[in-house]
Amino acid sequence: MPPETVNPADLPPLQRLIVRLIDRVPVFWRGPLLRLTLAWVVLFVLFLPDWRAMAWQWWDSSTYNHILMVPAILVWLVSQRTTALARLQPSTWWPGLLVCAGALFVWLLGEFAGLAMAQQLAAVVLLQGSALTVLGPQVAAALLFPLGYMVFLVPFGDELIPTLQTVTARLTMAFLAISQVPATIDGVFITTSGGYFEVAEACSGVKFLIAMIAYGTLVANVCFRRWPRRAAFMAAAVAVPILANGLRAWGTIWIAGWYGIAFASGFDHVFYGWFFFAFVMALVMAVGWRYFDRAIDDPMVDPTAILASPLLDRLAALRIGNGAALGALAGLCALFLGWAALAERLAAPLPADLALPQVRGWSMVALGSGAEWMPLHGGADRRLRARYGDTAGHVVDLSFALYDRQTDGKEAGGFGQGALPLGSHWAWERAGPDFAFGKSDVIQAPGPVHRLAVTWYRDGGVITGSNLRLKLANMLDRLLLRRRATATLILSAQDGQGPAPADLIERFRSAGGPLPAWFDHIASGQNQGAR
């Protein structure tokens, strides 16, 4: 007897919907889609901490709230290409595994250096690489923009904040000069007759800039065909928000001069926060509208051109078995995750305590005088903080931290760590004078009180003030499975003592000997006589 057939109309609504969706998928697409779904689910599970961290930033940080829309945009972009995709044959492609291996290597380096953005970028590229592996180059060519747009799932932009603060402050000063408002600038601090203003991190404009970059990229692809017009629109999407943010800061200061700081602050949050940037976005779109050159019914990709491409045809010949591709991907994940787990257990031996350096011509003085300054060394295994004074009453502060390894929560150069603690009453003012191998920053507290802080890191034989170089050294240690401690030394002096803070710090450092001797002595745990 023939098998009994089931009428779709008799199925529950959810099953009926699933059947209809499956029926719309060409038969030759069903296997690849199932394998891609399986690969993505496994990758989500293996790298769940990274995806969870990203999702939390999307939801919790106003800077990244716009990313909540990106998954829906990706679905829409793929839906615009379904007709073209139905004409293309997916094929498992082994060079896609090279992309996956590269992403896993970047993830490993990010894990070793504590760079969350590198790990999150790698998690996204893994999805892209697995799609390339399972679907092949011809399908990837049709999905090139949606796959590339997945990069906007990664929360990025915080690295631009100091630069944007400086740019905004200078633009504000230019607008104040044009409007004939007398003002002076000190780093990111502006003083007028109406008050004392800081171009703080929240006023840098980074949140609107990165949202406009994501939005501008989408518009450039969907609404334009010619690359010169795309480039011009993207240039406007970057430049206009920066200029607009400078205008916003100027407007706040100008209003404060007439109605007071309290009124200006409220006006800034309500008007500029809700209306001004929406107006700027609409203005950019209105200007770009007349130059849109893609018709509304113009297909996003041309499957005929893809099928006719000799290059894509040759690339598509580099096939691999379906099971072998998934097995190789699983093996790569196991290799790099195992490598990370092994390196995570490596910890350098540390002294039981740290030694206070004895510096010729300087003696210990009590902490507490001057504006309170407390560096942050989160996760450090050993910490030391001291204050030294010379016979003339000049004071230099010292802060030292020692880590048995660098990992999540124990990052010497992590965000908000060191001389300018996250959430403190100190704010970054500007880069300080050059110091050999050191990172020099002028910071400011209400008053205003100015302080110079010079930071050095040490990893093995490397002494540097560069956070990037420190992370590279840390990465090399863990790649080679070496047990090495990481140390941070900060010397700081407050302005207003007579000599310039830079001169005091250099005199104090020189009296203590070469930089390696500082690190060696403090980390030795053995107090010695004056040098």
pLDDT digits (tens, 9 = 90+) for 251-294: 888 777 665 566 556 555 555 555 777 888 888 898 888 899 88
102 in helix, strand or coil?
helix
| Spatial separation of the C-alpha atoms in residues 236 and 287, rounded to whole Å | 10
Quote the pLDDT of residue 62.
82
**How does pLDDT run across 425-464, given as a tens digit for each residue?**
888 888 899 888 899 999 988 878 899 999 999 998 899 9
| Spatial separation of the C-alpha atoms in residues 116 and 415, rounded to whole Å | 11
| Spatial separation of the C-alpha atoms in residues 200 and 188, rounded to whole Å | 8
Quote the pLDDT of residue 522.
92
Residue 163 has pLDDT above 80, yes or no: yes
Quote the pLDDT of residue 305.
92
**How does pLDDT run across 190-204, given as a tens digit for each residue?**
888 777 777 877 777
> Burial code of 464-491, b = ≥16 C-beta within 10 A, e = fewer?
bbbbebbbbbbbbbbeeeeebbbbbbbb
Grade residue 530 by pLDDT with cuts at 50, 70 and 90.
very low
Q: Quote helix, strand, coil % in the chain, to nearest 5.
A: 55, 15, 30
Grade residue 387 by pLDDT with cuts at 50, 70 and 90.
very high
H runs (alpha helix) in 317-374: 322-344
Residue 409 has pLDDT above 50, yes or no: yes
Quote the pLDDT of residue 529.
38
| Spatial separation of the C-alpha atoms in residues 143 and 168, rounded to whole Å | 38
| Spatial separation of the C-alpha atoms in residues 292 and 287, rounded to whole Å | 10
Quote the pLDDT of residue 6.
57
Residue 1 has pLDDT above 50, yes or no: no
Gyration radius of the chain's alpha carbons: 29
Our separate counts of H helices and E strands in the chain read 20, 11
Annotated domain spans of the chain: 23-156+309-344, 159-289, 363-524
What beta strand segments (E) does 318-438 contain? 363-365, 382-389, 395-403, 427-431
Grade residue 381 by pLDDT with cuts at 50, 70 and 90.
very high
Q: How many CB atoms lie within 10 A of CB 291?
A: 12
| Spatial separation of the C-alpha atoms in residues 286 and 240, rounded to whole Å | 13
Q: Among 27-41, 263-277, 288-302, 491-505, whose mean pLDDT is lowest?
A: 263-277
The letter for the amino acid at 250 is W
**How does pLDDT run across 341-356, given as a tens digit for each residue?**
998 888 899 998 998 8
For 237, residues 6+ apart whose C-beta sits below 8 A from its C-beta are 212, 213, 215, 216, 217, 219, 220, 284
Residue 134 has pLDDT above 50, yes or no: yes
Which helix or strand (DSSP H or E) is residue 183 part of?
strand 183-186
Quote the pLDDT of residue 15.
63
Q: Among 137-141, 231-235, 479-483, whose mean pLDDT is lowest?
A: 479-483
Grade residue 157 by pLDDT with cuts at 50, 70 and 90.
confident
Quote the pLDDT of residue 259.
59
Check: CB of residue 329 under 8 Å from CB of residue 97.
Answer: yes
H runs (alpha helix) in 179-226: 206-223
Share of the chain above pLDDT 90, in %: 49
Could you identify the residue written with the tokens 């890191």?
A: 457
Residue 52 has pLDDT above 80, yes or no: yes
DSSP string, 43-71: HHHHTHHHHHHHHHHHHH-GGGGGGGGHH
Quote the pLDDT of residue 273.
59
Share of the chain above pLDDT 70, in %: 90
More confident: 131 or 260: 131
pTM of the model: 0.79
285's tokens: 């779109």
For 482, residues 6+ apart whose C-beta sits below 8 A from its C-beta are 346, 460, 476
Residue 3 has pLDDT above 70, yes or no: no
Residues 230-250 have a mean pLDDT of 91
